[in-house]
Amino acid sequence: MNRIFGLDHNLTLIIWALLAIVFLVVLIARFKWNPFVTLLISSLLLGFLAGMKPEDIIKAVTGGLGGTLGTIAIVIGLGTMLGKMMAESGGAERIATTLIDRFGEKRVHWAMMVVGFIVGIPVFFEVGVILLIPIVFIVARKTKMSLLQIGIPLLAGLSTVHGLVPPHPAPMIAIAAYNADLGKTILYSILVGLPTAIIAGPLFGKFIGKRLSVEPPADLAEQFAAKNNRGLPGFGITLFTILLPVLLMLIGSIATILDPKATSGLTRFSTFIGHEIIALLIAVVFSFFSLGFARGFKKEDISRFASECLAPTATIILIIGAGGAFKQVLINSGVGGAIAAMATQAHVNIIFFAWFVAALIRVATGSATVAMTTAAGIVAPVLALNPGVNVELVVLATGAGSLILSHVNDAGFWMVKEFFNMSVAQTLKSWTAMETILSVVGLVFILLLSAMV
């Protein structure tokens, strides 16, 4: 099966890969199969079609799954714990209310974008939505503003961080695959992410909010309105807790830049605490005190919070691992190399190529994380043949592509639809349009930045 009717070997491999991806999409979108199972089956199918030996297929699947989750599973677990401490302590609400007070009611939609951007750093998009949706309802009721004018900027902030800014799992996967520098990626992601979120958030939110009238679900609105006020942690300590892992990672990257050979003990120590796992672990332990014991929680409460939040991450971890397995089969079967060879011969812009591949997989599978994981396996061999490319910007381009055109095969689409009480058509006009703006505008800013760095 190495060749189809005498076609070139590289072209044959690409056709088999497309067939495996179509198979993947049909099973998930049409027949509603579990993505974890479907990704594993698609990995096996691609391996056999590409002519791999059975034992090599198994090795690629297990190696890809284990290699992907080696770091990511820990990042997910620790990040979820940090998010749980924010929720239970009221830290997320403190950040939101403080920024709203500072911005004022007329500019509250700008505050919501900043809230989403900051709160989204340590938590998953879905977790961020669940944490902050009560604040959206409360702010919309108090200010009499459109629910979408308040909500879209928040969603833009959360989604931008999810796709572009480490230490989120998807960007971390691309950073590892491309061997990119973490500190530079964080810096570039902020330079690209903020203006992108502004255009897709407050600006687009104000536009669409005037054209679509939606009301929150009555039962949820009543529940949040009746919620008793409680004492909240201080803004400074909450913000410091959330940003602590990012600060530690930046310290590690700066130390490496200043002393690339790690000749001093200070550099080695800074690099150690700047590793994403150690940085997140330090932040989580710190949150037990700053947002836990300092708030009057007992040790039993904190232990319960840490345990409760891990169960929902199991599905996410498995899907990410299966995406890594599919990625490894793409590489080991030679598909990645085939695409790399064709892209190199065609002199395709690598940044645009990374964006385009991730965008195609995102539209097909509905998962930004699967899109970024799979695209990383396809793009990495291309990067290996083009050593002069800025790999940090390729990471961002992959992330931007993974955000495009969220539609009915994306769990986030349905979450936004239900929380904002919208029809499918209204969700496409608001949420889907916002995600597409994020992706396209992000690519434009990345290409502009590539001309300067």
Residues 6+ apart with CB under 8 A from 79: 122, 123, 124, 167, 168, 280
* Cis, bond preceding 167 (omega within 30 deg of 0): yes
Write out the H or E segment, with its range, that includes residue 37: helix 35-49
Q: Report the sign of the C-alpha dihedral through residues 387, 372, 353, 10, in that order.
A: positive
pLDDT score recorded for residue 153: 94
Reported as type and span, the H/E element at residue 94 is: helix 91-103
Residue 13 parent element (H or E): helix 9-25
Q: In 3-state terms, what secondary structure has residue 170? A: helix
- Nearest residue to 402 (alpha-carbon basis) of 165, 69, 117, 66: 165
Residues in the chain: 453
Residue 134 CA: distances (Å) to CA of 216, 224, 424: 10, 6, 22
Rounded to an integer, what distance in angstroms lies between the CA atom of residue 90 and that of residue 321? 32
pTM to 2 decimal places:
0.68
* Rounded Cα distance, 284 and 176, in Å: 23
Q: Specify the pLDDT at position 221.
A: 61
pLDDT per residue, tens digit, the chain (453 aa), is 555 554 577 788 888 888 988 888 788 767 878 888 988 999 999 999 999 999 999 999 999 888 878 877 887 788 778 878 877 888 867 876 787 788 877 788 898 898 888 777 766 677 677 667 767 777 777 777 888 999 999 999 999 998 898 877 778 888 888 888 888 898 999 999 999 999 999 999 999 988 888 877 766 566 555 444 557 888 899 889 888 887 887 788 788 778 878 888 899 999 899 887 898 899 999 999 999 998 889 999 999 988 887 876 787 788 778 888 887 888 788 877 777 666 666 677 889 999 988 888 787 666 787 788 878 888 888 888 777 889 999 999 999 999 998 876 676 787 788 778 888 788 889 999 999 999 999 999 999 999 887
pLDDT in the model for residue 68 = 78
Report whether 371 contacts 439 (CB < 8 A): no
- pLDDT, residue 401, reads 93
Q: Which of 334, 348, 415 is nearest to 159 (CA)?
A: 415
CA distance 323 to 330: 11
CB-side exposure of 353: number of CA atoms within 13 Å? 23
Distance separating alpha carbons of residues 357 and 374, to the nearest angstrom = 9
- Residue that has been written with the tokens 């009611």 in this structure: 105
Instruction: Quote the pLDDT of residue 123.
Output: 65
Tell me the DSSP string of 256-297: HHH-TT--SHHHHHHHHHHSHHHHHHHHHHHHIIIIIGGGT-
**DSSP structural state of residue 367:** -
What's the rounded Cα separation, in Å, for the pair 323 and 28? Answer: 13
- For residue 152, the tally of other CB atoms under 10 A from its CB is 33
Helices 54-89/125-143 angle, 10° precision: 30
For residue 307, count CB atoms less than 10 angstroms from its CB and return exposed for 0-12, middle for 13-18, buried for 19 or more.
Answer: exposed
Residue 232, both tokens: 């909240």
| H helix runs in 104-258, sequence order | 108-119, 125-143, 147-164, 169-178, 182-198, 204-209, 218-225, 235-258
Q: What is the pLDDT of residue 226?
A: 43
410 close to 435: Cβ distance less than 8 angstroms = no
Distance between CA atoms of residues 89 and 97, nearest Å: 14
Going by the DSSP 8-state scheme, the letter that residue 227 receives in this structure is: P
The single-letter DSSP state of residue 53 is -
104 — alpha (psi -120 to 50), left (phi > 0) or beta?
left
The helix-helix angle for 276-287 and 265-274 (nearest 10°) equals: 70
CA distance 113 to 395: 23
**Residue 367 · residue 35 · CB < 8 Å:** yes
What does the CA dihedral 324, 325, 328, 330 come to, rounded to 10 degrees?
-100
